[in-house]
Amino acid sequence: MPATNGLHRVVIIGGGFGGLYAARAMSHPSLRVTLIDRRNFHLFQPLLYQVATGELSPANIAAPLRSLLRRQRQTDVLLAQAVDFDATGKRVILADGEVAYDSLIVAAGLEFNYFGHDEWRPLAPGLKSIEDATTIRARVLTAFEAAERTTDPAVRHRLLTFVVVGGGATGVELAGAFAELARYTLRRDFRSIDPTEARVVLVEARPRLLEAFPDDLSDKTSQTLARLGVTVYPNAMVTDVRADQVTIQRGDAKEVIPTGNVLWTAGVRTTPLAGRLAAATGAATDRLGRIVVGPDLTIAGHPEIFVIGDMAHFEHQGGQPLPGVAPVAMQQGRYAAQVIAARVGGKRPTRPFRYHDRGSMAVIGRSSAVADLGWTHLSGFTAWFAWLFIHLLYLAQFQNRLLVLVQWAWNYVTWNRSARLITEPPGSKTRSSSQQPAGGDDGSSTDTR
């Protein structure tokens, strides 16, 4: 393989689970690694919903990439945006420059799919970034504040209605967390409203929640959510989203739900970068735009280009692509690093990638979760405790782990959530002195924030 100054240049795009674990596994001394990300931190996405619901602070679930890779002296971190590829010249085109590679690992993730209704995006934010989470947190808390001030019962009802679209793990976790926020955490904080009036609706297009889980765990999930007061609508499609209402189609019936709080977790598709990669390499893509990769995670005809994580379509047993979850990305990252090290070391080809599925879990609320470990199904407190333990283990930095544990323990004992801050966009200093607080009788004003 080509090399420069005796060094083999590896470029990794994306500092999520796939990219980070690939970078961490790059230990061969002949490798020179550059990790490119638009953000300066790795985000522990599975806990992002806890930032949106005020349980954790952003810094609890994010760690600077430079810190995480500090000990790997042969690794550079570059805060930059990749926009295109020159597969022939082996260069990644950045928004403001370019980087040459000998091996390339693309791990740029997915974004939410609004199914052709991108105009819904500002009205029904998804949950992918820290900013999404703090936006949702501010919007939901502002709705409670506005409800406290209104005297119109219909307006109050609308302000206190929360619709979560998508019954996968993120949707279930958000719906459960919002129901608990309203019923327990905010219970004694308000004088004019009863936070238990809040209504949380979870809309899922398919017949059951958590489709990736076994039937019995889906049922347990529905029961637990019902006990928390969440209204679950299976077999339901969102057909319209506006600033003050959402329209749901259930069979032949249409229901208009007045609400200014719609959260989107319904579907994903690749970012435009995947399209650029497919165009540059001739790679095949699936219907979500994911890049189809071979047994060694490389693109056909380009053994030097790996695609891993959510962005990759890797066919598992029975032709099913692997799900877009953190363990898949982590294992693929480590595998790609091993393949590159083996090649550079002149070793024989490694065996094809195989995913070791250790199970999946989703948390529903305080002391309640479901877990499918393959050999057994857990639910309730046992599953929740296992979830807690595993997430603490995986949290990237020891400090975060300790802080999150203290925060969780405190929240558990007190039913409190301390990170309930309504913050404004940074840099909007001039606005802040003239800005009107959202409130009065028109909750729809919160939708533009």
Neighbours of 2 (CB within 10 A): 11
Contact track, a copy of itself, 370-409, x by CB under 8 A: ---------------------------x-xx-xx--xx--
Which positions ≥6 away from 426 have C-beta within 8 Å?
none
Catalytic (active site) residue 173: yes
- Residues 136-165 close enough to bind a copy of itself by CB under 8 A: 138, 141-142, 145, 148-149
Given 27, 30, 239, 435, the residue binding a copy of itself (CB under 8 A): 435
CA 392 – CA 437 distance, rounded (Å): 37
Given 106, 130, 257, 308, the residue binding a copy of itself (CB under 8 A): 130
Interface with a copy of itself, residue 96, by CB under 8 A? yes
Interface with a copy of itself, residue 5, by CB under 8 A? no
Closest to a copy of itself by CB, 319 or 426 = 426
Three-state DSSP state, 97? strand
Closest to a copy of itself by CB, 290 or 420 = 420
Q: How far is the CB of 431 from a copy of itself (least distance, A)?
A: 10
Q: How far is the CB of 432 from a copy of itself (least distance, A)?
A: 7
Neighbours of 332 (CB within 10 A): 27
User: What spatial distance separates the first Cα and last Cα of the chain, rounded to whole Å?
Assistant: 51
Output phi, psi for 365, to 5 deg. Answer: 180, -170
Q: What is the DSSP string of 210-243?
A: STTS-HHHHHHHHHHHHHTTEEEETTEEEEEE-S
Interface with a copy of itself, residue 10, by CB under 8 A? no
3-state secondary structure 264-281: ECCCEEECHHHHHHHHHH
Q: Which stretch binds a copy of itself (CB under 8 A): 14-22, 128-136, 158-166, 333-341?
A: 128-136
CA quadruple 64, 69, 70, 74: dihedral, nearest 10: -140
Given 2, 282, 352, 437, the residue binding a copy of itself (CB under 8 A): 437
Closest to a copy of itself by CB, 210 or 277 = 277
**Closest-CA residue to 107 (of 414, 319, 332, 286):** 332
Interface with a copy of itself, residue 420, by CB under 8 A? yes
Three-state DSSP state, 87? coil
Quote the tokens at residue 116.
């052709």
**Closest-CA residue to 39 (of 10, 61, 22):** 61
- Say if CB 204 and CB 166 are below 8 A apart: yes
Interface with a copy of itself, residue 310, by CB under 8 A? no
Closest to a copy of itself by CB, 231 or 418 = 418
Given 12, 47, 78, 230, the residue binding a copy of itself (CB under 8 A): 78
Contact track, a copy of itself, 237-276, x by CB under 8 A: ----------------------------------xx----
Contact track, a copy of itself, 178-197, x by CB under 8 A: --------x-xxxx------
Interface with a copy of itself, residue 423, by CB under 8 A? yes
Q: How far is the CB of 108 from a copy of itself (least distance, A)?
A: 11
Q: How far is the CB of 117 from a copy of itself (least distance, A)?
A: 14
Q: Which residues face 241 on adjacent strands?
A: 246
CA 198 – CA 178 distance, rounded (Å): 9
Q: Tell the residue number behind the tokens 């994010």, with chain if given.
A: 62
Interface with a copy of itself, residue 111, by CB under 8 A? yes
Which residue of the set 173, 180, 204, 304 is catalytic?
A: 173
Number of residues lying near a copy of itself (CB under 8 A)? 78
Q: Which stretch binds a copy of itself (CB under 8 A): 135-143, 208-216, 233-241, 246-254?
A: 135-143
Q: What is the DSSP string of 377-410?
A: EEEHHHHHHHHHHHHHHHSSSHHHHHHHHHHHHH
Q: How far is the CB of 400 from a copy of itself (least distance, A)?
A: 7
CA 25 – CA 336 distance, rounded (Å): 9
Interface with a copy of itself, residue 119, by CB under 8 A? no
Given 62, 92, 225, 363, the residue binding a copy of itself (CB under 8 A): 62
**What type of residue is 240?**
D
Angle at 40 between CA 64 and CA 173, to 5 degrees: 75
Q: Tell the residue number behind the tokens 């403001």, with chain if given.
A: 96
What does the DSSP 8-state code read for residue 39? S
Interface with a copy of itself, residue 414, by CB under 8 A? yes
Given 15, 125, 171, 309, the residue binding a copy of itself (CB under 8 A): 125
Closest to a copy of itself by CB, 219 or 441 = 441
Contact track, a copy of itself, 22-41, x by CB under 8 A: ----------------xxxx
Closest to a copy of itself by CB, 302 or 420 = 420
CA 347 – CA 362 distance, rounded (Å): 41
Active site residues: 173
